[in-house]
Amino acid sequence: MLLVPALLLDAALGEPKWLWDRFPHPAVLMGRAVGFAEARLNRGGQRRLKGVVAMLGLGLGALALGWIIHAVPDGGVLEVIAAAILLAQRSLVQHVQAVGDALRLSLAGGRRAVSMIVGRDVAGLDEAGVSRAAIESAAENLSDGVIAPAFWFLVGGLPALVLYKVANTADSMIGHRTPRYEEFGWAAARFDDLLNLIPARLTALLIALTHGWLDPRPILRDAPLHRSPNAGWPEAAMAPVLGVALSGPRSYHGEMREFPWVWAEGRRDAGPDDIDAACGALWRVWGGMLGITLLLALF
């Protein structure tokens, strides 16, 4: 039952700017912890082993923090607040919707807005490219920011949720295949992949079912095309329910990469209306997750 008010609280309030302008957000604190470990251990030899040790220490710290909050005898109030803070439904919708709103005013504005939520080069994106980038980010972050945290809270309470968020933060910071992080970030990347294995597929299922899409074949066909073992699943589900082709060629750090299309038979002229539809899909899936949580709580 604690997850129900947490989902509702996050949906209602999101990330209040007045609060996080005054205090560091827990995700920021997690990032500082990851940065602290990386700065002190990512040097010399045996970097993969050091990365394992760092991830083990971060994970145990996350479990301990979650358990301490859970143990406070307040009827679960702090747990609800903590879970709501670590969910990201409303803020995700706001960031994605901002891209569509800006794109309606100008292409330059759309590029600026989408640069806040994606890592690709945006200077050369046309309207369709900006729209696809926003929709892809919506699909992937729906899993990482909403469904996966909720799933792990259902599995193991607040300790499991905090553990997931620390692992996800570590992966986003050090889980890159670059000379600096290839070895040290290996454990963070693999652990994040493991924790997202079920939630990513659950997200794809929820996207499909909440839109009446009952044919799993295009999702099963296109999800493995993604370079990530998990991120492709929600993207492969979002593309057909919106009727647009996603992914495809894009540029990173000035280098064009020929990624395959997801739902290649879909439209390639995505625009602000499709971003609006993606935001609607985010709320549909959120409603589906809330419904599942209520059923589990009642029965």
- How is the chain split into domains, by residue range? 3-298
CB burial readout 196-214, b (16+ within 10 A) else e = beebbbbbbbbbbebbebe
SS3 (DSSP) at 258: coil
pLDDT, one tens digit for every residue, the chain (299 residues): 999 999 999 999 999 999 999 999 999 999 999 999 999 999 999 999 999 999 999 999 999 999 999 999 999 999 999 999 999 999 999 999 999 999 999 999 999 999 999 999 999 999 999 999 999 999 999 999 999 999 999 999 999 999 999 999 999 999 998 999 999 999 999 999 999 999 999 999 999 999 999 999 999 999 999 989 999 999 999 999 999 999 999 999 899 999 999 999 999 999 999 999 999 999 999 999 999 999 999 98
Residue 229 and residue 236: Cα distance in Å, rounded?
A: 12
Q: Please state whether beta strands 246-247 and 261-262 pair in parallel, antiparallel, or not at all (unpaired).
A: antiparallel
128: Cβ–Cβ under 8 A, 6 or more apart, which residues?
A: 268, 269, 270, 271
Other Cβ atoms less than 10 A from the Cβ of 180: the count is: 12
CA-closest candidate to residue 101, choices 109, 92, 90 = 109
Residue 61 token pair: 């710290």
45: Cβ–Cβ under 8 A, 6 or more apart, which residues?
A: none
Residue 215 and residue 207: Cα distance in Å, rounded?
A: 12
User: Measured between alpha carbons, how far is residue 264 from residues 33, 92, 248, 253, 267 in Å?
Assistant: 41, 26, 9, 25, 8
- Please compute Rg for the chain using Cα positions: 19
